[in-house]
Amino acid sequence: VNDRERPNPDALLAAIQGKTARSQRGRLKVFLGMCPGVGKTYAMLEAAQRELKAGRDVIIAYVETHGRKETDALAIGLPLIARKLYEHRGLALSEMDLDAVLSRHPQLALVDELAHTNAPGSRHPKRWQDVNELLDAGVDVFTTVNVQHLESRADTVRQITGAEIRETVPDSLLDAATLELVNLPPAELVARLQQGKVYLAERAASAGQNFFQESNLTALRELSLRLVADHVSVDTQEFHRSQADAGAWKTGHRLMVAVSASPLSESLIRWTRRMADSLRCPWLAVHVENTRPLEDPVQSRLQQNVALARTLGAEVVDTTDDNLARGLLRIARQNNVSQIILGKPAGATLFEWFRAGKLFRQLTRDSGDIDLQIVRAEKTGVVLPPRRWRWRPTSDGKQYVIAALTLAIVGLLNALLVQFTGPRVPGFVFLLAVVLLALFLGRGPMLFAGAASALAWNYFFLPPRFTFIITSTEDGVLFGLYFVVAIVLGQLVARIRAQELAERRREERATALYHLTREFAQAGTRDEVVWQLVAEVNRGFQASTAVVLPGEKSLAAHPDSSLVLSEKELQVAEWTFLNRQPAGKFTDNLPGAEALHLPLTTERSVVGVLSVSLPEKALPLARRDLLEAYARQAALVLDRVALRAIGEQSKLVAESERLSNALLNSISHELRTPLAAITSAISALAESKKPDGTFDRSMVAEIQEASARLNRLVGNLLNVTRLESGHMRLNLDWCDVRDLVQTTVRVLERELSGRTVTLEMADKLPLVRLDFTLIQQSLANLMLNAVSHTPPGTPIRLQVRTEPLWLVFNIADDGPGLSPELLPRIFDKFFRAPGAPAGGSGLGLAIVKGFVEAHGGRIFAANRPGGGAEFTLRLPQTEIQPVETA
Amino acid sequence: MNSHAVKTSAIALIIDDEPQIRRLLRVTLESNGYEVFDAVDGNQGIVQAAQCRPDVILLDLGLPDLDGVAVLKRIREWSRVPVIILSVRDREQDKIAALDAGADDFVTKPFSSGELLARLRTTLRRSQPASGASVFRAGKIEVDLSARNVRKQGQEVKLTPTEYALLRLLVIHGGKVLTHRQLLTEVWGPNAVEQTHYLRVHIAHLREKLEENSAQPAFIITEPGVGYRAVGWE
């Protein structure tokens, strides 16, 4: 059964893929009725038939005709999508098959009864959420709803009819919709009702007697007429949106309502939404948390109210303050609120009036330029047991014991003291003890300590002792003062501490966010950001976390994730990514999932999904807010990193363009110069006509030299290519250093002719492990470099020595040395010192550096103290020379 | 030294796809008394090698149809004709692969005609049926294979058996590059092919004992990354 209830992954995937093809959101048309039986379905089908005739692709996704013939007849010709069957507690429930509709993807879908609650196990708990998804997928939808099901009107309808409305639809869904009122005069409806033409579900039937009274119907009709009149058409709203950019919303109204667990709260929230609707302004719902912890039923009521505000389109703000009025005003000022909506409790108790009055007075005094609007609010839902009468020990019993023990000890000390001082001093000692205790204990224990110490002082010390009787007026006054001071002091200190605690909690949250922001600031790459995010969420929420990011083909969890996402969870994450809405646990979208999936969205785009598996059963508002703040922060940073990567990419492209330009310039010069020499020498040879048939030897020498130079250049270019390809593999082998040096000198025999080359090396050198060819070429390049930068005949010295773990080559000359300002650049590719002799390509030293670094070695260039340049190669020798066995 | 040690009109087969190279080689070789055939790709080269029975083959590695090493292996299936590789590829892996596959020498393009002719002569001389000579000389050094002794300026040089085996191998293949693998397999056996440090040490010892100036060896030359070659031996 369970499996059948779960959304089919394939269907889900198909839906997701279908969605990617969407062009824009579908249009919603709502057939609004004042109550059941006015003929909404009929009107909808009529309109659908017109659309069908106009050539549109219309399907029936879900229509309930209740077997009425006229309505059935209208459904003919409209293709029907088979419903999906669910089994719940032995009942067969049929629901709209959302996935089938999505994969069919018609132009227009008919979905009856927008306010319907789906069978358990469906993708969304409510049908209006299904409709929302259809609209997101670009499908136009016709739907029906009764005015009582609108979130903002439910309250009024209940007042009119006394019927409790459970199924509601958020007004925000209707914002972008076209409304069509299905109007029927109340008398006619009553007549239809009597003819049995109105189908009533069993539950509705029982309420029917009251509900369908003509007076009620008239009121409902008026309500729906007003709703339609108030409703801003899509076009007008678009117009207002564009005006909003010009700052109309900023200068206009901004409403704020306080959200609490109070039974008044719900009706206040609805009222504010209606008000905001008619003013067409944004509104805030603020919850001011105080230091007292909430019991579970209160907490869940609060969350319901906050969720209600969120569905109704409020921006929800959560703050902490022990003083409600102060907290509200702070948030109001921060958000440029123009009006605060307050409720005057209907049927309130005297105490409620007292408390409300206190709040009103403070708000009135401190609100400044913010208007206050006091509206009548009604209690809704089950009335929770009032908090003030409940004994809620905020401190555990241990604190009382500590207070009692401390007082007992102080009492004993006083008993000693009283013999020397008289009865009044113990009172002050007690007071001191009470003040000190206040630093550690809660309110309750302090109340106890204050009272107990006063009584103890009176009983044990004030004459007549061991009675509660006070004889002297002086003592009486003192006792009275003591009593008041002890209790007030204790309460004051305890309150300060409680505030401190709340402050600390807020501080911790701010710190957590700050910490994250700081870590993010240091993270330079996507991987680092993900790593930090996962670490911070895991630490802060004791959760396991996955970050799902778009890969080349599909979404995939980042390898640093600590949460392993099942196939199903990954699909929920995909849904979140595509719909930019939270999904999974603690949400209305696919609530059956095991993890909470939050989209990582910026204003520009959605960059990924944060999937968190939390240990708790319910997610408190503050924690959810913090988690969402994490997600927002992470999204911003990920976006920034992505942008930077794009920037760096283009910088890289520019750099490589610069390099390839340098390369082209250098190559064309280097290739053409020897070619020119060869060409001109050959033409000279061809034209020279010596009578004896001999030819000019010098021309031949020119050709030979130019060819050698060309060949060397090609070799250098090949080496550079090999180095830059990143595929250079070292051919490490045991080598005889003497052999290496000798081979180098032999290879350069011609270039080194006429110079003294001193080889300095020990007779016995160990075998070393390196790539013989590469190091031999490096040495040759360095020698050639020395040859080309020193006057002919200048001696060159090559020294080899071994240090522990290093093999060191040093090539020195007695030439003019290196210019200090050019030193840092001499190993750059295509760098040629100004005034360098012709024939070099500017690659030789770059190649040496590449080869040496490929060995894990280093190269240094320096001027010798006595003049001349020297180059030092240091190659690591970590392996132990093999022992010869043969 | 007899500069025309080759028999008159030795037959050379050129396998190269570049017409310019074929033309140049033909001119050079013919003017030096060779009879020249050529082939433009590997398959044609293999057929020609069977038909015209060359005394030496000049083989390019980058052929349009077959890789040069593959051609060499095919020829080596039935013939021991000397093969000299002529290639632009100068990486030691390429040289080793060709030499291990049975090439007699490896000349990197660009080359001078003088160098090529010298290599050709050496290769041809080596391929001639053993002259029976068992004494090889280079400078002041004399190696008598039949008597198994080595003299330097008439003085007997004491060599270990391994050093002697190594020297003998290099000397009888005088002028030819022997790869590390070939030397190690011959002297130490097929299990020792990775033990290049044996070679390094023994070659160093040989040079110390034989060369006039071991800092500038003249008789045993290192071919970087490939192997060793004995030069100047007769």
d(CA A533, CA A526): 11
Contact B203 A739 (CB under 8 A): yes
Contact B203 A738 (CB under 8 A): no
| pLDDT score at A693 | 62
Average pLDDT value for residue range A208-229: 74
Contact B200 A739 (CB under 8 A): yes
Contact A884 B198 (CB under 8 A): yes
CA-based nearest distance A872→chain B, Å: 22
| pLDDT score at A526 | 83
DSSP lists the bridge partners of residue B37 as: B13
pLDDT-derived band at B103 (thresholds 50, 70, 90) equals: very high
Residues of B in contact with A884 (CB under 8 A): 197-198, 201
| pLDDT score at A241 | 43
Q: What is the mean pLDDT of chain A?
A: 79
Residues belonging to chain A with any Cβ–Cβ distance to chain B shorter than 8 Å: 707, 711, 715, 731, 733-736, 738-739, 742-743, 745-747, 759, 767, 771-773, 776, 881-882, 884, 886
Chain A's closest residue to B218, CA to CA, is A746
Contact B200 A773 (CB under 8 A): no
Say if residues A583 and A560 touch (Cβ distance below 8 Å).
no
Residues of A in contact with B183 (CB under 8 A): none
* Residue A171 in tokens: 């007004």
d(CA A665, CA A669): 6
Contact B200 A742 (CB under 8 A): no
Q: How many CA atoms lie within 13 A of B14 on its CB side?
A: 24
Average pLDDT value for residue range A159-165: 75
Neighbours of A874 (CB within 10 A): 19
Chain B's closest residue to A734, CA to CA, is B197
pLDDT-derived band at A205 (thresholds 50, 70, 90) equals: very low
Chain A's closest residue to B215, CA to CA, is A742
Say if residues A464 and A471 touch (Cβ distance below 8 Å).
yes
Chain B's closest residue to A737, CA to CA, is B200
* Residue A663 in tokens: 């390369």
Residues of A in contact with B195 (CB under 8 A): 882, 886
Residues of B in contact with A881 (CB under 8 A): 197
pLDDT-derived band at A216 (thresholds 50, 70, 90) equals: confident
Contact B197 A734 (CB under 8 A): yes
Residues of B in contact with A767 (CB under 8 A): 197, 200-201
Tell me which residue has tokens 């109007």. Answer: A183
Q: What is the pTM of this model?
A: 0.44
| pLDDT score at A881 | 61
Mutate which of A705, A736, A760, A777 to test chain B, going by most B C-beta atoms within 10 A? A736
pLDDT-derived band at A886 (thresholds 50, 70, 90) equals: very low
Chain B's closest residue to A710, CA to CA, is B110
Query: pLDDT tens across A652-691, in order?
Result: 787 777 767 766 776 777 788 788 888 888 887 877 766 6
| pLDDT score at A388 | 43
Q: Is the pLDDT of residue A276 over 60?
A: yes
Query: pLDDT tens across A38-70, in order?
Result: 888 888 998 898 888 888 889 999 988 777 777
Q: Is the pLDDT of residue A7 over 60?
A: no
**Contacts with B141 (C-beta within 8 Å, 6 or more apart), sequence order:** B150, B151, B152, B157, B210, B219
Contact A776 B92 (CB under 8 A): no
Question: Which has the higher per-residue pLDDT, A64 or B185?
Answer: B185
Q: Is the pLDDT of residue B12 over 90?
A: yes
CA-based nearest distance A751→chain B, Å: 16
Peptide bond into B110 cis (omega under 30): yes
DSSP-derived secondary structure letter, A596 = E
Contact B222 A743 (CB under 8 A): yes
DSSP-derived secondary structure for A150-194:
BHHHHHHHHHHH-PPP---B-HHHHHTSEEEEE---HHHHHHHHH
Most confident of A251-260, A422-431, A782-791: A782-791
Residues of A in contact with B92 (CB under 8 A): 731, 773
Chain A's closest residue to B217, CA to CA, is A742
Contact A734 B204 (CB under 8 A): no
Q: Which of A711, A735, A776 is nearest residue B200 as measured by Cβ atoms?
A: A735
Q: How many CA atoms lie within 13 A of A760 on its CB side?
A: 11
| pLDDT score at B6 | 45
| pLDDT score at B57 | 94
d(CA B33, CA B6): 9
d(CA A154, CA A394): 38
Least confident window among A46-55, A218-227, B170-179: A218-227
Query: pLDDT tens across A125-150, in order?
Result: 889 889 988 988 889 999 999 888 88
Residues of A in contact with B201 (CB under 8 A): 736, 767, 884
Q: Which of B110, B162, B225 is nearest residue A731 as measured by Cβ atoms?
A: B225
* Residue B21 in tokens: 């190279």
Contact A745 B216 (CB under 8 A): yes
| pLDDT score at A18 | 46
pLDDT-derived band at A236 (thresholds 50, 70, 90) equals: very low
Q: Is the pLDDT of residue A390 over 50?
A: no
CA-based nearest distance A660→chain B, Å: 25
Q: Which of B198, B215, B224 is nearest residue A772 as measured by Cβ atoms?
A: B224
Query: pLDDT tens across A165-192, in order?
Result: 778 888 777 777 888 888 777 778 877 7
| pLDDT score at A355 | 72
d(CA A585, CA A323): 33
Peptide bond into A464 cis (omega under 30): yes
Residue whose C-alpha is closest to residue A548's, from A612, A459, A487 = A612
Contact A882 B192 (CB under 8 A): no
Q: Which of A707, A743, A767 is nearest residue B224 as measured by Cβ atoms?
A: A743
Q: Which of A742, A767, A884 is nearest residue B217 as measured by Cβ atoms?
A: A742
Q: Which of A734, A742, A882 is nearest residue B215 as measured by Cβ atoms?
A: A742
pLDDT-derived band at A380 (thresholds 50, 70, 90) equals: low
Residue whose C-alpha is closest to residue A828's, from A810, A848, A808 = A848
How many A-B residue pairs are in contact by the CB < 8 A criterion? Answer: 54
Contact A715 B90 (CB under 8 A): yes
CA-based nearest distance B9→chain A, Å: 28
Say if residues A627 and A541 touch (Cβ distance below 8 Å).
yes
Say if residues A872 and A810 touch (Cβ distance below 8 Å).
yes
Most confident of A155-164, B40-49, B139-148, B212-221: B40-49
CA-based nearest distance B74→chain A, Å: 29
**Three-class secondary structure of residue A344 per DSSP:** strand
Tell me which residue has tokens 């909808």. Answer: A44
Q: Which of B110, B196, B222 is nearest residue A707 as measured by Cβ atoms?
A: B110
Least confident window among A39-53, A373-387, A515-529, A756-770: A373-387
Residue type present at position A181? L
Helix, strand, coil percentages (3-state) for chain A, rounded to 5, are 55, 15, 30
**Three-class secondary structure of residue B6 per DSSP:** coil
DSSP-derived secondary structure letter, B67 = B
Strand pairing category for A255-258 and A283-289: parallel
Sign of CA dihedral B125, B131, B134, B139: negative
Contact A739 B204 (CB under 8 A): yes
Mutate which of B183, B187, B222 to test chain A, going by most A C-beta atoms within 10 A? B222
Residues of B in contact with A739 (CB under 8 A): 200, 203-204, 222
Mutate which of A707, A730, A742, A799 to test chain B, going by most B C-beta atoms within 10 A? A742
Q: Which of B90, B93, B188 is nearest residue A886 as measured by Cβ atoms?
A: B188
pLDDT-derived band at B3 (thresholds 50, 70, 90) equals: very low
Residues of B in contact with A747 (CB under 8 A): 224
Query: pLDDT tens across A560-602, in order?
Result: 888 888 888 888 898 888 888 888 888 777 878 888 898 888 7
Say if residues A105 and A18 touch (Cβ distance below 8 Å).
yes
pLDDT-derived band at B132 (thresholds 50, 70, 90) equals: low
Sheet holding B227-230, edge to edge: B177-179, B227-230, B220-223
pLDDT-derived band at A120 (thresholds 50, 70, 90) equals: confident
